[in-house]
Structure 1
Amino acid sequence: MIELREEYKKRSIRFIDVWETQGWSMKLYGISYENEYPKNNLIQDAKELAVKILPLPAKTDARYGVGFIGIHEGAGANFIFIDWWSDENELNHHVYVASHDTPDHYEYATPKGLIACCWDLKVLSFERDSWVKTVLANPAGVPNIDEYMKLQLNEDV
């Protein structure tokens, strides 16, 4: 039987801001093992990574120019996931990991199959539900990107 390394502990998930860059509007979320928000340098690292990978132009026939970034200050490593919506209902998801031993070296983890941890999945699930509510199943019959960007997750899970 596999034993847990430590007992489950709730972590804070906090909406930080809407960050605008190169035509993109990205919701920023912080998740932390010990604090309410991740350290500022991790937030800056996430923005620098996003600038490198977000496709340009932000808005096309297939892309809305919106998405979200998760900055997870974990117990054993730091995780950054960068996600954006395209083709009406598809989420592009990219994960980067930096160990505490090499905090300035983020490895692209997506090709290894890493998707998300249980706390990151809460953000993904919330954003999925927000997208369906405001874009795909909007009662007005048209996507409401502004309303999507206003929905925020702030919870201890």
Structure 2
Amino acid sequence: MIENQTVEQAVEKAAEKAPGEYLHPLPTAVDGSALLALAVDHHARAVRSVGVREVAGHLVKLYVIEAPERTLAERELEPIVAIAGGQLAGAAARGSLGLGVLIVHAGGDGDYVLVHSWIEGYMSDLAIFTGPAGQPDQLRPGRAGLAPCVWEAAVLAHEREAFVRRVLDGAGPVAERLAAWAADVLTGEVR
């Protein structure tokens, strides 16, 4: 079991299975203990779609990710949708195409809100807000360089595929493509 091994033991065991494919000793920047601790604590999180809304003139797919012991009621989402509206209000100046994703993550250590929109040139715009659990009035822009966590990235990966499959590679008029995009949602558990 990984949790009962030292980093060195885990690396040695892995090297025995596939000699030459693993680095030993580990490069100095690799924190093997921290990686194994993350692996031990890693778990599935529930994700659900809460529909599509018009927010600041954008069509926005809304998702909720919930850590164990956390739940969000739909009424709790309204102040968060308002935050997204503030972010999207100026999105045209950043090349927005009018389609976005709002992820509300009720995490184990606080709340995270991701406002993602598709922009010109096959690119996207992302803003992340963070704050204490259950206090949307305390959400503030995340630090520079903050990126999605593993669970949030799973939703964004699905949304990238839905955008490509339904809008860029879709067939028919724009309204039909957008209806297909809106219906293509991720629900269940993500890891």
Q: Counterpart amino acid of 1:28?
A: L
Percent of paired sites with the same residue: 22
CA distance in 2, matches of 1:142, 1:90: 22
TM-score by length of 1: 0.83
Which residue in the other structure is 1:32 paired with?
66
Aligned ranges for residues 1-157 of structure 1 at < 5 Å? 1-2=33-34, 4=37, 7-34=41-68, 37-40=71-74, 42-55=76-89, 62-87=95-120, 89-100=122-133, 104-109=137-142, 111-138=143-170, 140=171, 144-157=177-190
1:118–1:20 Cα change, 3 Å: same
User: For 2:37, what is the secondary structure of its paired residue?
Assistant: coil
TM-score scaled to structure 2, two decimals? 0.69
In the TM superposition, residue 20 of structure 1 has moved relative to its aligned partner by 1.6
1:44, distance to aligned residue in structure 2 (A): 2.0
Contact 1:12–1:36 at 8 Å: present in 2 too?
no
- Unaligned segments of structure 2, at least 5 residues: 1-32
Asked if structure 2 preserves the Cα contact closer than 8 Å seen for 1:14 and 1:31, the reply is yes
In 2, the alpha carbon distance for the partners of 1:102 and 1:44 equals 12
| Aligned equivalents of 2:52, 2:157: Cα separation in 1 | 18
3-state SS of the aligned residue for 1:132? helix
When Rg is computed on C-alpha atoms for both structures, the one with the higher figure is 2
| Distance across 1 between alignment mates of 2:79 and 2:156 | 20
Count of equivalent residues: 153
Instruction: For 1:14 and 1:36, locate their aligned partners in 2 and report how far apart those are by CA, in whole Å.
Output: 13
CA distance in 1, matches of 2:96, 2:188: 29
CA distance in 1, matches of 2:117, 2:43: 29
Higher relative contact order (CA 8 A, sep 6+): 1
Quickly say closer, same or farther: Cα 1:57–1:128, change in 2 above 3 A.
closer
Q: Secondary structure at the residue paired with 1:4?
A: helix
SS at match of 2:63: strand
